[in-house]
Amino acid sequence: MVPLKQVWPSEFAERYRQKGYWRGETFRRVLEARARERGDAIAVVGGGERWTYADLLARAETAAAGFLALGLQPGDRVVVQLPNIPQFFAVVFGLFRARMIPVFALPAHRLTEIAHFARKAQATAYVVAQSHEGFDYRELADAVKAQVPHLRHAVVVGEAGHHAAFDAFRADPALLPVEDAAPSDVALVQISGGSTGLSKLIPRTHDDYLYSIRASNEICGITPESVYLASLPVSHNFPMSSPGVFGAIHAGARVVMAPAPDPATAFPLIEQEKVTITGLVPPLALLWLQAAPKTAHDLSSLQVLQVGGAKFMPEPAKRVGSVLHCKLQQVFGMAEGLVNYTRLDDPDAVVTQTQGRKISPDDEVLILDDQGNAVPDGEPGNLLTRGPYTIRAYHDDPAANARSFTEDGFYRTGDVVRRLPGGYLEVMGRATDHINRAGEKISAEEVEDHLLAHPQVFDAAVVSVPDRFLGERSCAFIIADGEAPRPADIKAWMRGRAIAAFKIPDQIVFVEDFATTAVGKISRKELRAALRAQLLDQEKAGA
Ligand code: AMP
Ligand code: DBH
């Protein structure tokens, strides 16, 4: 079994500890401390439930006992795929209490992705909600168990059917481990959007993740009086940790779980719960800007709207203040680590035109040309980084690690940025071929690989195309093998591959050949670029 770890060279680890970034905190101790200090304060609201910090601790301990009673062991990995419901926190803090490691999947993931995460993490259990947005996760759990033999247990929040019922877990203090995890242990596993091939696993330690959360709280002004609305799916790194729901819990503040991020769901919650801060991806921010002037709901409690995950354009950015009567904060982060924020007291021009600056004085940021030389300030270049909360390696993936990390431990983000005065970054684009569809990262290669499995597909290239609403959409160029199927049939067939719906191409264009590749020496990367340029030219000519 490949051990799950994340290690910084000792001279770095020592420095990060000595500077007080890594404080020896663990998630278990954070919750225990909050329950001691603020036991009666409301921690989590959602789905008709209101849990105090004392309730949350008790529920986490019950969950921990339940997982252990199933026969799971400390150190086990557990794939967690839950929508924004309060039980998310009972499950996750329960796993922390039992010294088990959550692997976070998004609600949109399906069999292909879940089986991949479960295999890669050698997970022994899978936690789902009975259903969400019309999809039955219990059936998915059956399918995952059938494919992944070491995944022995599925635990269901709600009606469990023949699976283990989370609601039937019983407290049993005798089962709980006495010893806590070490702060340098892996606390949880995030999933990378993945620029090449399948998603990679990102192991984050208590030390590094809690540092990024604590520092984010300071930058974002989170206090015990804050109310954070989880609008985006909480399993995503942004609403989880920048500062997100864990930031709120670290501060002893309140988390409100929105079952969906649309204005019709979120606005009443903002009014009822006096929400002070939330985070959105740009397309949702556009929807909120459209809906806010017409709403009857009182949004005046909202102090900060964070926007991140994909580039927020300056024009809509300028409207946030006057339309939503709150501050905009741009957030440019990645599950691998580095997070940049505009600061709450920055001038408007900085907030609307940059994606912020790094959290930590010890975040090392390099902007290099393709030869590896530093570019002058103001010029675009490839962003590389290392620091006290940026990973040094993906889990069990030597090929990806060789590609993604330099020998001296810098992570190649794949983003093209330029440095502005004060160390602020502007995201200009990216060097890799993933598609950033409304903040969901899609690997072109992964989608091409699915398309190539279709009997009538001879070759396929998937590219990103600018989209007014999504920011980017995906377009698949396909050379048919014989008669071309209808695009709708290709899409229906893709759905049958049991993958997240956001990976199904938005647009499908059949072509006779990839003319530019006739010589066969051009790279797929150049092919994608050529096809993309061709499409944009055609659209321009047609417009
Ligand atoms: P992931 O590695 O899947 O966590 O996705 C992180 C990537 O999302 C970054 O490397 C950027 O490409 C993109 N991203 C995140 N936030 C922003 C932002 N505010 N502006 C532009 N791109 C962003
Ligand atoms: O897109 C991201 O992955 C992201 C965006 C903003 C992120 O991981 C984060 C903040 O922490």
* SS3 label, residue 156: strand
Share the mean pLDDT of the chain: 95
- Which-ligand-closest: CA of 242? 2
Q: Going from the N-terminus, what domains does the chain have, and what CATH number goes with each? A: 27-181 (3.40.50.980), 434-542 (3.30.300.30)
| Cβ of residue 104 lying under 6 Å from some atom of ligand 2 | no
What pLDDT digit, counting tens, does each position of 174-198 carry?
A: 999 999 999 999 999 999 976 677 8
pLDDT at 486: 95
Smallest Cα–Cα separation from 212: which of 250, 180, 181? 250
| Cβ of residue 247 lying under 6 Å from some atom of ligand 2 | no
- Which-ligand-closest: CA of 332? 1
pLDDT at 163: 98
What residue owns the CA closest to ligand 1's atom 12? 415
Pocket test for ligand 1, best of 311, 383, 410 (most atoms within 8 A of CB): 311
Report d(CA 190, CA 104) in Å as an integer: 6
pLDDT at 237: 98
DSSP string, 16-45: HHHTTS-----HHHHHHHHHHHSTTSEEEE
What residue owns the CA closest to ligand 1's atom 15? 309
pLDDT at 524: 79
Q: Residue 421 CB: number of other CB atoms within 10 A? A: 9
Q: In this prediction, what percent of the chain has a pLDDT beyond 90?
A: 91
Burial class, 44, CB count within 10 angstroms (exposed 0-12 / middle 13-18 / buried 19+): buried
Locus of tokens 């900085």: 350
Q: How many helices (H) and strands (E) does the chain have?
A: 17, 27
| Cβ of residue 312 lying under 6 Å from some atom of ligand 2 | no
Residue 527 has pLDDT above 90, yes or no: no
| Cβ of residue 193 lying under 6 Å from some atom of ligand 1 | yes
Tokens matching residue 291: 């809906």
Are the CB atoms for 463 and 474 separated by under 8 Å?
yes
Residue 433 has pLDDT above 90, yes or no: no
Tokens matching residue 173: 């203090």
Asked if omega into 3 is within 30° of 0 (cis), the reply is no
Are the CB atoms for 212 and 220 separated by under 8 Å?
no
Q: Which atom of ligand 1 is the closest one to the Cα of 340? A: 19
Residue 522 has pLDDT above 70, yes or no: no
Phi-psi region of 482 (alpha: psi -120 to 50; beta: other; left: phi over 0): left
Query: How big is the CA angle at 424 (ends 420 and 425), to the nearest 5 degrees?
Result: 85
| Cβ of residue 243 lying under 6 Å from some atom of ligand 2 | no
Residue 331 parent element (H or E): strand 327-334
pLDDT at 517: 47
Report d(CA 287, CA 320) in Å as an integer: 12
pLDDT at 194: 64
What pLDDT digit, counting tens, does each position of 38-86 carry?
A: 999 999 999 999 999 999 999 999 999 999 999 999 999 999 999 999 9
Q: Which atom of ligand 2 is the closest one to the Cα of 193? A: 3
What pLDDT digit, counting tens, does each position of 350-388 carry?
A: 999 999 999 999 999 999 999 999 999 999 999 999 999
Locus of tokens 């030390």: 207
Tell how strand 49-52 and strand 42-46 pair up.
antiparallel
- Weakest mean pLDDT among 257-261, 301-305, 520-524: 520-524
Across 478-495, b (16+ Cβ under 10 Å) vs e yields: bebeeebbeeeebbebbe
- Tell me how far CA of residue 82 lies from CA of 61, 127, 161, 270, 364, in angstroms: 19, 7, 17, 22, 34
Q: Residue 321 CB: number of other CB atoms within 10 A? A: 15
pLDDT at 425: 98
Pocket test for ligand 2, best of 202, 240, 332 (most atoms within 8 A of CB): 332
| Cβ of residue 331 lying under 6 Å from some atom of ligand 2 | yes
pLDDT at 195: 65
- Weakest mean pLDDT among 17-26, 243-252, 426-435, 523-532: 523-532
- Weakest mean pLDDT among 329-338, 450-459, 521-530: 521-530
What residue owns the CA closest to ligand 1's atom 1? 334
